[in-house]
Structure 1
């Protein structure tokens, strides 16, 4: 029961009014009494936080916490793709333009996620990853590869919670939620990083507007619940190196390009 209550605080609902009220509450000092219970309920590792837990005066402050330097090791090999987030690999595989992605019982097409068929076509026969972040996870996102930002755009005006309830009740949540898409040109082709908001307000915050993307660098965070989707252009030398449903951390290798 306690976890269900806490989950509603950070994943919110499909109703804009109740979502706005919960957002206001979790962002205020009124939520301070819930900070330690939330941390305990989800067994959050307080030792890796940037500050002691007493520093966080609201649930949102705790949820958007940074980690102390060195808390995550980023694989430095130039030919590896690393996880952009702490989360669970809820989907991975090859991409076809007309393919549907089964996400917790619902089907989504890449052109719906990317916004247009032309945008989606660039990733035909490539590789995708779907990374789900639970309330317990660190909610910053980092670059999974080094390259140059060639496109950044936002889509969606209606949001639903990215959880089992939202996926049952929402009308194609991944294609209507507010989402921010960053496309990075790398030495191995283009990589799209799709950040999906999980509530009725924009919960995606960017830390800078630089076009320089360095693997492992923190470039933003989610204020509430979230999912990240990666799309990679087709490259016959690329091999995924992570299993479905496995837990991953920022900087951990999840794939590699086999250099000739």
Structure 2
């Protein structure tokens, strides 16, 4: 019953008209008056920001703010996989032989997430990692490893919440929401980086179109709270055991290593 009510409410509020209104407001001068209260409510560290809080023209520019140079230390181990975002490492586990993962007692199809069974097949029995960004987090996305870009594309149209309630009651949000997929290659191994749009605003802005990414390099940003899913091939990734689940992580923090 709770799931049905949740989905009905989200469907009623998550339409093109609502999304347009929210986007228009956050990019308006009027929204600038909410920046300080927003920062206070979410306890945002103002000392880390590249610009002074009074310099932002609207809520959108504040939300997509940059940080001061070198404020995040990037792990320098050649084979380490770093967190591409500031967020919460919500879950990590094994992709089963049918390219399916289980998150919060729900089933997600990797074939649906990536758009084809052929793309998903290479990650069967591999590892998945889910990183959630709340409205409080820094929303720029960075490369998790030194890699070549093998493919990039977008899927989906609407976006629903990807927070804990969304994962628990939503309809396969990680697989069905608007998402951009970047397939990376490091030392002959494939890594899929899926950037999942969140409720109302689908925007995932790709700002780095280079064919190679350096670890820690800024590559994209979200225009709203969202999620990044990392997929690794079988026997190609080892998580550092000292990281509890769930756990707050930051850009540049080593999460594990490719092998």
TM-score, normalised to structure 2's length?
0.89
RMSD (Å) for aligned C-alpha atoms: 1.7
**Contact 1:182-1:193 within 8 A present in 2 as well:** yes
Q: Structure 1 residue 101: deviation in Å?
A: 3.1
- Aligned equivalents of 1:161 and 1:226: distance in 2? 8
- Aligned equivalents of 1:208 and 1:257: distance in 2? 23
Q: CA separation of 1:88/1:168 partners in 2, compared to 1, >3 Å: closer, same or farther?
A: closer
**Contact 1:14-1:170 within 8 A present in 2 as well:** no
Q: Structure 1 residue 228: deviation in Å?
A: 0.2
**Contact 1:14-1:166 within 8 A present in 2 as well:** no
Residue by residue, what CA displacement relative to the aligned partner does 1:65-98 show, whole Å, maximum 9, x if unpaired? 0101011000011011100101101110122242
**Contact 1:49-1:68 within 8 A present in 2 as well:** yes
Q: CA separation of 1:100/1:126 partners in 2, compared to 1, >3 Å: closer, same or farther?
A: closer
Query: Which residue number corresponds to residue 206 of structure 1?
Result: 206
Query: Which residue number corresponds to residue 222 of structure 1?
Result: 222
Task: Confirm or deny that 1:240 pairs with 2:245.
Answer: no
Residues 59-208 of structure 1 correspond to what in structure 2 (within 5 A)? 59-98=59-98, 100-167=100-167, 170-187=170-187, 189-208=189-208
Q: Structure 1 residue 231: deviation in Å?
A: 0.2
Q: CA separation of 1:105/1:25 partners in 2, compared to 1, >3 Å: closer, same or farther?
A: farther
- Aligned equivalents of 1:167 and 1:29: distance in 2? 34
**Contact 1:35-1:57 within 8 A present in 2 as well:** no
Which 4+ residue blocks in structure 1 deviate beyond 6 angstroms?
A: none
Query: Which residue number corresponds to residue 42 of structure 1?
Result: 42
- Aligned equivalents of 1:245 and 1:169: distance in 2? 19
Task: Tell me the number of residue pairs that the alignment of Structure 1 and Structure 2 aligns.
Answer: 245
Q: Structure 1 residue 115: deviation in Å?
A: 1.2
Secondary structure of the 1:130 match is: strand
Query: Which residue number corresponds to residue 9 of structure 2?
Result: none
Q: Structure 1 residue 200: deviation in Å?
A: 4.0
Residue by residue, what CA displacement relative to the aligned partner does 1:116-142 show, whole Å, maximum 9, x if unpaired? 111111111211100000111000110
Q: Structure 1 residue 107: deviation in Å?
A: 2.3
- Aligned equivalents of 1:41 and 1:201: distance in 2? 21
Give the gaps of 5 or more residues in structure 1: 1-12
Secondary structure of the 1:254 match is: strand
Secondary structure of the 1:43 match is: coil
Query: Which residue number corresponds to residue 253 of structure 1?
Result: 254
Secondary structure of the 1:137 match is: coil
**Contact 1:177-1:196 within 8 A present in 2 as well:** yes
Secondary structure of the 1:209 match is: coil
